[in-house]
Amino acid sequence: MLKKIIKYALLVSVLIIFSLTVYAWYLSSQVEKRFSARRWHLPSTVYADTTLLYPGQRFNPSIFTKKLLNLGYHRKSHLPSKKGEIQITPTEINIYLNDLKTPWRTREGFPVQVLAGGNRIEAITRIDTADQVPILELEPEEIMQFFGEERERRHLISIEKVPERLIRAVLAAEDHRFFEHSGIDFRGIIRALITNLRHGAIRQGGSTLTQQLAKNYFLTPARTFSRKFKEVLLAVVIELKYDKNEILEIYLNEIYLGQKGSVAINGFGEAAYFYFGKPVKELTLSEAAILAGLIKAPNHYSPYVDPARCRSRRDAVLQSMHRNEWLSETELQAGLNEPVRAVGFTVSGAKAPYFIDYLTEQLKRLYRPEDLSSLGLSVYTTLDTQLQLAAQRALTKGLERLERTNPDLQREAPEQKLQGAIVVMQPKTGHILAMVGGRDYSVSQFNRITQARRQPGSAFKPFVYLSGLAKFTPTTLLSNDAKSYTVDGKLWEPRNFEPVTEYTVSLKNALKKSYNLATVDLAMKIGLEEIVDMAARFNLSTPLKPYPSLALGAFEVIPLELARAYCVFAAEGVQPFPLSLKGVLDEHDSILEQKHLTIERLIPPAEAFIMTAMLQSVVTEGTARSLRWRGVSWPVAGKTGTTNDFRDAWFVGYTPDILALVWVGFDNGDTIAATGAAAALPIWADLMNAIPQYRSETEFKAPRGVARILVCPVTGLLSVADCPAPTEVYFLEGRTPTGHCTLHAKDGIAGKIKESLKGVSEEDDR
Amino acid sequence: MKTSPIQVVFLVLLPALLIGCPQPILQVTPSEIEEPAPAEKAADENPRVVAALQLTDQGRRLLEDGQPDRAIRALEQAVGLDPTNGQNYYYLSEAWLMKESAAQAKEFNHLAEIHLKEDRAWMIRVAQQADRIAELEK
């Protein structure tokens, strides 16, 4: 009988050992698989463009200060002594720059003084060397991270770069016998058992770092016997397969150490930045002890939650380090005397959500979504966060103003509210600097800059007039009289916005005053197919039909494409490809993608300039002249647009350096009862007034191939002495008027004609 | 001082001879074409222009170091600040030549031509650049 029992016992033991061996082998393969593969999912980070500062630059102090805070700089009352600190006084901003790292440039941080005189930078001086800095590049601002399901932030660190004081602090807090045990610390378990029995409650855990790692990495948090059993086995397996430093490095990168909004802070690399704004190698003894103390209960001991509790936990860690003879008495006292001071953080919402959506569409063509949330890529973009903020503010203010002045525009339901959109581009480079695709992203994610198709109204007219330059000149006279057209068997009778007495008008003045009748007359003279072709050359992708109403912008366009098309006028006839993505680095900072500005020549520079000159007169004397009293006193070219029943209001305006398109309307096509000049233009003006640093305020330069000629405003011929208020008009060379004004020539007949047309002339100059 | 007829002929022909001299691809330092140094040139100009010239110079140096991508980046920034300086387009064209993209080199060469039309020395370089682009296109 006994023999039988022994036999069964032996058999059972063999079976258990066999099963355990098989299970351990299985766990071993799991560990190997997990550790040899990608250990963590690192979210990819999207950055805005870098910011340039230079002496003489105008700037908006409030937006600039916000920019520095968004970059993670911390405000101090004293002169900055370490990277990431700023001191702001009424006359100067002292910045200890962070390191700069982009695919194109790396630079160590250094302290600078930015001397501000009013809204202008007077000088930039290095504080350490007193050298003048002619141009300074601030690091790119993080605007978004592509998280996976985990929503974890992690800044990986290698064990060689972790200071000894942090390792000692972690071991003192969690497992001071780490380098002595083999994954399971039996002495620790017994000690924990005794302590817990003495207190009648669980006061101490016996888990080693390796067990904690096993638990975090492979197991659920459930407190069951089987989970504990697996944890022990896994810890042993991990210790057998990896050396202590490897295990410690994984642990230091893995452990959960707090919460920033909805995102978890994992690993000491990230925690060092989150709590103290610095890399781990710069942590002081006290800071290292604080972080180590957080492992036990990160949100309970967080310096952001309860500094006193945090301090008491830090002191316990320092005492433990001292007990383990890792700290001298002097070091202990110094550590205990250090105040607990975290650097602070702000949880900001999405900074440019519509831009990010647009960018994501492009990134998806290059990377799978799961790669974006796991490969830790750095994505560099063209976005300018200061401009983005200014554009958002201008749009919000403008729409609220419209609703205030016309209560009929107010809507109860958020999704039915008056909408607007803005895109800002550099016309020469195609860089998209800001994109506001709607009033409130949380209400509607529909991007009205890239996804909407709206009638451009008169904002389309420049393409009609451009097509006309092949046959006509800016002074060619057009009929501005009422006419009927038959389209698909139906009668179409265009009208001017308001009745006018000017029945004949020059091409230049027709665009300036946005006359519909004269524009249709021009379009019919050019040929509608030619205008359709011209629009296609400008990469307007939406279908346009050769109907007379085409000339008045009756066919829908995509706002971004319209903005890009206008870039051609500002950029000497070349069209840039609209750029939002500039480059992508992998987690080791190797360049994966680079996008440069690329351009395509569409029209001769002289034609582009003639268009700009005519569009400048829209701003100086035409439908956009209200810009002047809205504070826009520098050279601007632009065009307003209003569609039938006031469904859409547009203004596209540009200088040689910057172009912005503003659209206002209701998604459902309700009337907004306002023109482009009344609804969209004020928003454009507000935006431009808020961003002085982006305007050179220089003139548009006339290229070769244009001639400036003094002409009679009535006949468009070369002016003579008696012409009333002769004006200078740009012509294409070789297409200038050849004859002198006969109307005002000094002979009896002309004098009579001049007298009879006096009224018309005055109308023209209105 | 008397001038001999041979000296007169020589002096008259000298500019033409100089224009005809072949020049290496990146012989373009502002000093060599008797351009004042960036800061010096721009001292009385607007601050954007001064800053842009720093970036233009950075771009030129990066090109000389054989780093076209980094040069393009600096030159893009320069264009952003001062789109009227034709030198930026000239160097951008050089960068694309270095990257062996004749199409883009041609576009920027054309822009350089537009903006540098009043600078005879630069126009010579722009013309030579156009020749090299044509060579690359073959």
Which structure tokens are listed for A502? 């000017």
Residues A291-323 have pLDDT tens digits of 999 999 999 999 999 999 999 999 999 999 999
- For domain B38-137, is the CATH number 1.25.40.10? yes
Residues A348-406 have pLDDT tens digits of 667 899 999 999 999 988 998 888 888 889 999 999 999 999 999 999 999 999 999 99
Q: What pLDDT band is residue A223 in, cutting at 50, 70 and 90?
A: low
Q: What pLDDT band is residue B34 in, cutting at 50, 70 and 90?
A: very low
Q: In the predicted model, what is the mean pLDDT of residues A267-290?
A: 92
B48 touches chain A (CB under 8 A): yes
Residue B13 has pLDDT above 60, yes or no: no
Lowest mean pLDDT across A49-58, A268-277, A566-575, B19-28:
B19-28
Rounded to two decimals, what is the model's pTM?
Answer: 0.82
Q: Of A243, A218, A245, give the one whose Cα is nearest residue A233.
A: A218
Please tell me the predicted confidence (pLDDT) of residue A764. 40
Q: Of A451, A428, A448, give the one whose Cα is nearest residue A438.
A: A448
Q: In the predicted model, what is the mean pLDDT of residues A261-287?
A: 90
User: What are the two backbone dihedrals, phi and then psi, of residue A672, each rounded to the nearest 5 degrees?
Assistant: -105, 0
A458 is catalytic: yes
Q: In the predicted model, what is the mean pLDDT of residues B32-44?
A: 41
A612 touches chain B (CB under 8 A): no
B47 touches chain A (CB under 8 A): yes
The strands making up A152-154's β-sheet, listed across from edge to edge, are A152-154, A263-266, A256-260
Do the chains contact at B50 and A55, CB–CB below 8 Å? yes
**Residue bearing tokens 């990608």:** A38
A161 touches chain B (CB under 8 A): no
**Residue bearing tokens 């789109």:** B83
Tell me the three state secondary structure of residue A489. Answer: coil
Min distance A113 CA to chain B CA atoms (Å): 17
**Of the listed A320, A458, A514, A580, which one is catalytic?**
A458
Residues in chain B closer than 8 A to A426 (CB atoms): 79-80, 83
DSSP structure class, residue A417:
S
CA-CA distance, A138 to B77, in Å (whole number)? 13
Q: Which residues are registered as beta bridge partners of A100?
A: A107
**Residue bearing tokens 């706002």:** A559
Which structure tokens are listed for A130? 């007193």
Output the average pLDDT for chain A.
89
Across the interface, of A105, A135, A600, the residue whose CB is closest to B107 is A600
Q: What pLDDT band is residue A751 in, cutting at 50, 70 and 90?
A: low
Residues A472-531 have pLDDT tens digits of 999 999 999 998 888 778 888 999 988 888 889 999 999 999 999 999 999 999 999 999
Other CB atoms within 10 A of residue A484 CB:
8
**Of the listed A139, A174, A572, A607, which one is catalytic?**
A174
Among chain B residues, the shortest Cα distance to A696 is held by: B48
A541 touches chain B (CB under 8 A): no
Is the distance from CB of A431 to CB of B72 less than 8 angstroms? no
CA-CA distance, A433 to A422, in Å (whole number)? 11
Residue A276 has pLDDT above 70, yes or no: yes
Is the distance from CB of A148 to CB of A374 less than 8 angstroms? yes
Across the interface, of A55, A426, A704, the residue whose CB is closest to B47 is A55
Residue A664, CA distances (Å) to A93, A196, A268, B105, B125 in order: 38, 68, 48, 39, 48
Residue A166, CA distances (Å) to A159, A274, A318, A321 in order: 11, 16, 11, 11
A403 is catalytic: no
Burial code of A567-586, b = ≥16 C-beta within 10 A, e = fewer?
bbbbbbbbbbebbbbbbbbe
**Residue bearing tokens 């405000």:** A75
Chosen for mutation from B67, B79, B96 (greatest number of chain A CBs closer than 10 Å) is B79
Q: In the predicted model, what is the mean pLDDT of residues B74-87?
A: 92
Q: Of A552, A580, A549, give the one whose Cα is nearest residue A564.
A: A580
Is the distance from CB of A74 to CB of A85 less than 8 angstroms? yes
B97 touches chain A (CB under 8 A): no
Please tell me the predicted confidence (pLDDT) of residue A37. 65
B41 touches chain A (CB under 8 A): no
Which residues, including other chains, have CB under 8 Å from residue A318's CB and lie 6 or more apart?
Answer: A169, A285, A286, A289, A327, A332, A335, A336
Across the interface, of A135, A429, A696, the residue whose CB is closest to B55 is A135
Please tell me the predicted confidence (pLDDT) of residue B45. 66
Residues A127-167 have pLDDT tens digits of 999 999 999 999 999 998 888 777 788 888 989 989 999 99
Residues B101-128 have pLDDT tens digits of 999 999 999 999 988 988 999 999 999 9
Strands (E), A199-262: 256-260
Is the distance from CB of A638 to CB of A612 less than 8 angstroms? no
Q: Of B95, B25, B99, B104, give the one whose Cα is nearest residue B60.
A: B95
DSSP structure class, residue A699:
P
Domain boundaries, chain B: 38-137
Residue B76 has pLDDT above 50, yes or no: yes
Please tell me the predicted confidence (pLDDT) of residue A752. 58
Tell me the three state secondary structure of residue A150. Answer: coil
The ipTM assigned to this model is: 0.77
Min distance B75 CA to chain A CA atoms (Å): 10
Bridge pairing between strands A378-381 and A44-47: parallel
Q: What pLDDT band is residue A347 in, cutting at 50, 70 and 90?
A: low
CA-CA distance, A225 to A290, in Å (whole number)? 32
Lowest mean pLDDT across A128-132, A276-280, A342-346, A541-545:
A342-346
Please tell me the predicted confidence (pLDDT) of residue A754. 52
Is the distance from CB of B40 to CB of B50 less than 8 angstroms? no
A657 touches chain B (CB under 8 A): yes
H/E segment holding residue A730 = strand A727-732
Q: In the predicted model, what is the mean pLDDT of residues A101-116?
A: 91
Q: What pLDDT band is residue B12 in, cutting at 50, 70 and 90?
A: very low
Min distance A240 CA to chain B CA atoms (Å): 48
Cβ contacts from A onto B, under 8 A: 91
Residue A575 has pLDDT above 90, yes or no: yes
Do the chains contact at A701 and B79, CB–CB below 8 Å? no
Q: What pLDDT band is residue A195 in, cutting at 50, 70 and 90?
A: confident
Bridge pairing between strands A706-711 and A727-732: antiparallel
Please tell me the predicted confidence (pLDDT) of residue A747. 63
Chosen for mutation from A104, A380, A568 (greatest number of chain B CBs closer than 10 Å) is A104
Min distance A655 CA to chain B CA atoms (Å): 10
Residue A629 has pLDDT above 90, yes or no: yes
